[in-house]
Each structure stands twice: as structure tokens, then as C-alpha cells.
Amino acid sequence: MLEDTNWKCGCDPHEFTEAELKRLDIMAVDVTKDDLQPHLDNVGGVISALGNRQPFFGDRVAAKGTQNLVKAMEANKIQRLVAVTSVGLSEDWPPVEFHWVGNIIKWIFILTGSNRDLQGAENAIQASTSLDYLLVRPVGLGEDRRPNGEWFVQKQKGEDNLGPDFSKTDCASFAVSEVMDPTYSRRGVVVGSNWETFVMDEPKTEL
């Protein structure tokens, strides 16, 4: 976990000082069964990335886990939730309509149903009347995509293009910024990299 330096992202190794490690807690929970309320005591906001859209990974915990998370947040009167879900959900169908990778994602969803669990998570969040939520729908999150310290939000579906591969670190930074200083409320946004400067096969850099 925190001792690992390679988090399968195209970024520098993650290393923590002793002082930083003392500020962090890792708690193992079964989000589909456990009561999450005790873990949210004195919490100001939550970032959730439950579930995945991969066709061959079976940890479909997004829907049930998010139902439990929403229940715990409401009980603790926590309002701000930033949830990383997926392109192609709710009003964002079809996914990534501005690039050919969208057709691949679309057919993966249709043939495998790997979007159903994440759609259940979005449904659980949108059903809450008290949460001030943001649904973050990232384009492809490539393990080799290097962070640029920037992100771009699609303003109008069908008109605005995004780079179809996006750094995991930049996606995480966007999520953190939206918890700390919210700019979007009770809606979903598609987020990705700069279309104008995007290169699919990014040149390798020397370590």
C-alpha cells in the first residue's frame, strides 16, 4: 500500500516522509457489507473511486458500496462527495463520442455489461437529496500517461473534444481540488487531457 512506490501510473515514484505517514490511515473494510459510518466521523468531504469499468475484473462493488457510502454520509451529515465513475453513464451516452476509442468502450459496455455496476453507483448518488455531489467521468486512464498538472472538462457533449487518454494523477488532483474548493454541484462532468496537444503514443522519457 503506502510502502509501494509504483502505483501503476506514469508518474514519479510515490514516497512519503515519516511525518506524512503519521497523517494517513488505511482501514480495510468490505464496502458491500460493513457499516461505514464510524469511519466517516469528523470528515469534511469524501472522494470515492469504487468499482471499475474493465470487462474482465469481477470486483463489482460500486453499486452496493456506494449505497452504503451514501447512507453513512447522510447519517454523519457529510455533504460533499466527489465520485470517480466512467464516461458513457447516464446522460453521457455514447462515451467519448469525439474519438474512435469511444466505439471500443461502447461495445465493451454493450457486450459485457461492465458499466452496470458503475451506473448503479451513479443512481445511488443521484437519488440522495442531501449530497452536494460531483460525478467525475474520466476518459481513458492509461497507466503510462504522464501527469501534466492540468485537466480539461468537456463543456458541451458533441461539441468539445478531450484527449482520450488521461493521467491517473491528474484525474486524482482534479477530484481533490473539487473536494477542497468545489466548482460543480449535483452534476456529472467528463474530464480529460488537452485535445490540442494530445499525442496517443506519448514519447518515453528516461528515468
Provide the sign of the torsion angle of the four alpha carbons 121, 127, 133, 137, taken in this order.
positive
Domain ranges (residues) in the chain: 18-192
- Tell me the three cell numbers of residue 41: 466521523
> pTM score, two decimals?
0.89
Longest CA span, the chain: 50
* For residues 169-198, average pLDDT: 94
Question: How confident is residue 172, by pLDDT bands cut at 50, 70 and 90?
Answer: very high
Cα separation, 72 vs 128, in Å, equals 12
- What confidence tens digit (pLDDT) does each residue in 23-69 have? 888 889 999 999 999 999 999 999 999 988 888 777 899 999 999 99
Alpha-carbon separation of residue 110 from 92, 98, 103, 114 (angstroms):
15, 19, 10, 8
With b for 16 or more beta-carbon neighbours within 10 A and e for fewer, the 105-141 pattern comes to bbebbeeeebbebbbbbbebbeebeebebbbbbbbbb
Cα separation, 81 vs 165, in Å, equals 24
Cα separation, 95 vs 104, in Å, equals 9
Q: Which option is the CATH number for 18-192: 3.40.50.880, 3.40.50.720, 3.30.70.20, 3.40.50.300?
A: 3.40.50.720
- Work out the mean pLDDT of the chain and round it to a whole number: 89
